[in-house]
Every structure is written in structure tokens, then in C-alpha cells.
């Protein structure tokens, strides 16, 4: 009886470790996908990009969204969905690159997922 309990406890530990690894692998497999609402953005006009955290239709822990400007993270909002709209206003024709980072909490640390989106801009 004691050896059976020990065997079951060991199997339980293996299952818990496997579940933990799967959860960590899932977070590390996510990608940001940006879909502009307009084919071409115009200088000085507000626009937005639908940003998907792939895979779709899965609730995530609440995470933080940052934009990167001049190598600095600027917090935009919090979210817990695999979808959010990022609103922006291009300052020039060359302002065609949008960098985003989301930080998802995992235990007592964060998993960071980077997105780099290039769009067409015209005057």
C-alpha cells in the first residue's frame, strides 16, 4: 500500500511538472499580429491597428501593453484578451514603424512579447 501511494505521488508530481511546462511553453509561443484598419495611413491623421495576440480566443492573465519610442517603454493600457486596438497618429511619412511590447505575468516574473509593425504612410 505504501509503495502504491509513493508511486501515485510521483506520477502526480510528473503531471504537475508537465502542466507547468505546457503553460510556460504556451506563453512563450505567443506572437503579436498587427492589422492596420487603413491600407495607407496619412501624416497627421489618427489611425489604428488591430493587434492580435496569437493564438485566438483564449483569455490571458491581465497583461500590460507598452509602445516603444526612442528605446523607451511607455505604458498604454492593460488587457486580458487576445485582441486590442492600438491607436496612433503618424508624424511623418517616415513614421511607419510601430514597436509594441506586452508583459504577461507568470508566477513572480513577466514574459515579454515584442511586436514590430511596418505600415505604409502617405501625405
For 43, the domain range is 31-122
Q: Is the pLDDT of residue 57 over 60?
A: no
**Structural domain includes residue 105:** yes
Number of domains in the chain: 1
Q: Which pTM does this prediction carry?
A: 0.64
Three-class DSSP category at 38: coil
**Structural domain includes residue 57:** yes
**Structural domain includes residue 108:** yes
- Model pLDDT, residue 113: 92
Measured between alpha carbons, how far is 29 from 42 in angstroms, rounded to an integer? 34
Predicted confidence (pLDDT) per residue in 21-43, tens digit: 888 878 877 888 888 888 889 99
- Model pLDDT, residue 56: 59
- Model pLDDT, residue 60: 82
Burial of 84 (C-beta count, 10 Å sphere; 0-12/13-18/19+)? buried
**Structural domain includes residue 81:** yes
For range 45-70, the mean pLDDT: 85
User: Across the chain, what does the average pLDDT equal?
Assistant: 89
Q: In the structure, what pLDDT confidence band is assigned to residue 105 with cuts at 50, 70 and 90? A: very high
Check which CATH number belongs to the domain holding 39 and give it.
Answer: 2.60.40.10
Residues ≥6 apart with Cβ < 8 Å to 50: 34, 35, 37, 83, 84, 85, 86
Amino acid at each position: 500500500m505504501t509503495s502504491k501511494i509513493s508511486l501515485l505521488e510521483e506520477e502526480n508530481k510528473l503531471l504537475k511538472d508537465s502542466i507547468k511546462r505546457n503553460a510556460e511553453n504556451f506563453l512563450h509561443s505567443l506572437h503579436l499580429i498587427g492589422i492596420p484598419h487603413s491600407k495607407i495611413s496619412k501624416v497627421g491623421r489618427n489611425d489604428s491597428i488591430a493587434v492580435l495576440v496569437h493564438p485566438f480566443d483564449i483569455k490571458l492573465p491581465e497583461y500590460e501593453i507598452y509602445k516603444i519610442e526612442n528605446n523607451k517603454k511607455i505604458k498604454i493600457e492593460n488587457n486580458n484578451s487576445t485582441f486590442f486596438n492600438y491607436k496612433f497618429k503618424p508624424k511623418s511619412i517616415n513614421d511607419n514603424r510601430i514597436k509594441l511590447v506586452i508583459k504577461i505575468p507568470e508566477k513572480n516574473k513577466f514574459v515579454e512579447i515584442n511586436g514590430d509593425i511596418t505600415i505604409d504612410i502617405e501625405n
